[in-house]
Amino acid sequence: MKDLKAEARAVGERLGAADTRGLNATLYWSQEMLDAEADRVAALEAAGAPLPLAGMPIALKDNIVTTDAPTTCASRILAGYRSPYDATVVRRLREAGAVIAAKANLDEFAMGSSTEHSAFGRVQHPTHPDRVPGGSSGGSAALVAAGVVPAALGSETGGSVRQPASFCGVVGVKPTYGRVSRYGLVAFGSSLDCVSVIGRTVNDAARVLAAISGPDDQDATTVAVEPLTIDATPGSLRGLRIGLPTEYFPADLDAGVRAGVDRAADALRALGAELVPVTLPHTKYAVPTYYVLAPAEAASNLARYDGVRYGVRRIGEAGDLAALYRATRGEGFGPEVRRRILVGTYVLSAGYYDAYYNKAQQVRNMIAADFSRVFAPGGVDFMLTPTTPTTAFRAGERTGDPVSMYLADIFVSAVSLAGLPAMSVPVGLSEGLPVGAQLIAPAFGESRMMAVASAVEAALDAAGEVR
């Protein structure tokens, strides 16, 4: 039996060391919380409960609510807020024997691609302090990549787990929309949000995803499908057809990224898979479509932060309700969140709703139809693409150019719009910086997708090309 108290102390030491070196990846942790978690798991073990994650320390992105720690969404408007309930995924992790280790830093309200938009300071890349770890789940990815925890939960709205996983050299898995409950995930874009998993290895990520998956009466968008079973045992891939979408391999793709994806493709061929070109013609519209729909949903969801019911309250000079709203939201929200609320309000306003929001919904359907066609019988089983167009960029390099920042999501946003599962797998280094390759699967194809990813991981590890 594990010495859970000793392991809790070791996790605390690693968290403290990460804080000391300035990683800034956590917004809350305490040794007292770790010790209490260890006692809880020990009691479950003593009672003979089945614990597939017994003692595994897991960090939570700080937009997943817990009763025993603050949930701030890295925003001053929620400073000190404590939820009266735990998220479904938190309850399921604890039932599986996991230890909740920390609340991880993020871009404010999960709006960003670099974790530079936190009200509590940017997260450093775990191996290159001058670079960003990606976002918005940059704190979760950095903690896993730095060896503080073997796995962490993040959230995906348009690539916020796969992109930082690629930048940090770890595994990031976005499940099918509806596979995992959103109850207790603070809403950003309700038709897109997915609780997702970051792991040091495919097996780590797979075990956590299996534990949190399944329908939930508290979330009507969850789907009653067969429970997720994970077979992450590497093996032959003979007979599999894997598509290479031409739109994801432009002429100006970073050479190091292309080389990493080529290594993954070579490994797949060696394992017996057939790689074939495919086309997803509406990919070029994915980023603009996402940045109409997601801000529109954000503007609606964030209307509740008004300084009346919870969170901070600022009294405006005029002393009336409108002044209260202006003062609270003006000071409580950071510039990126305000920008997206304004964009979302604009595209939902009278006279622009049809021109922008409705049109974006139509294009979203066309993007989803592209994937349906490629995955139809007689098509391919999976697709292989780069996760990101470049390796991790320098801190501050894109903060003054929002469009350039948004384009970091160019290879991940279409999958989110289609609601499909996808994952990023480390495939090597380019000039010392991690490169990730993305596997995309049909809806509810997580089990087979992770078996393929595990085979690639094993092949590249054996060749000395990843870790």
Q: How far apart are CA 294 and CA 106, in angstroms?
A: 17
Report residue 276 as tokens: 């074939």
Report residue 417 as tokens: 């719009």
For residue 244, how many other CB atoms are within 10 A of its CB? Answer: 17
Report residue 435 as tokens: 């490169």
From the candidates 160, 166, 181, 424, give the one annotated as an active-site residue: 160
For residue 48, how many other CB atoms are within 10 A of its CB? Answer: 7
Q: How far apart are CA 423 and CA 438, in angstroms?
A: 5
Catalytic (active site) residue 136? yes
Of 268, 222, 254, 185, the closest CA to residue 410 belongs to 254
Catalytic (active site) residue 160? yes
Catalytic (active site) residue 454? no
Report residue 312 as tokens: 């901070």
Which residues on neighbouring strands pair with residue 437, listed in sequence order?
386, 425
From the candidates 83, 114, 136, 166, give the one annotated as an active-site residue: 136
Task: Fill in the amino acid letter for 54.
Answer: A
Catalytic residues: 61, 136, 160
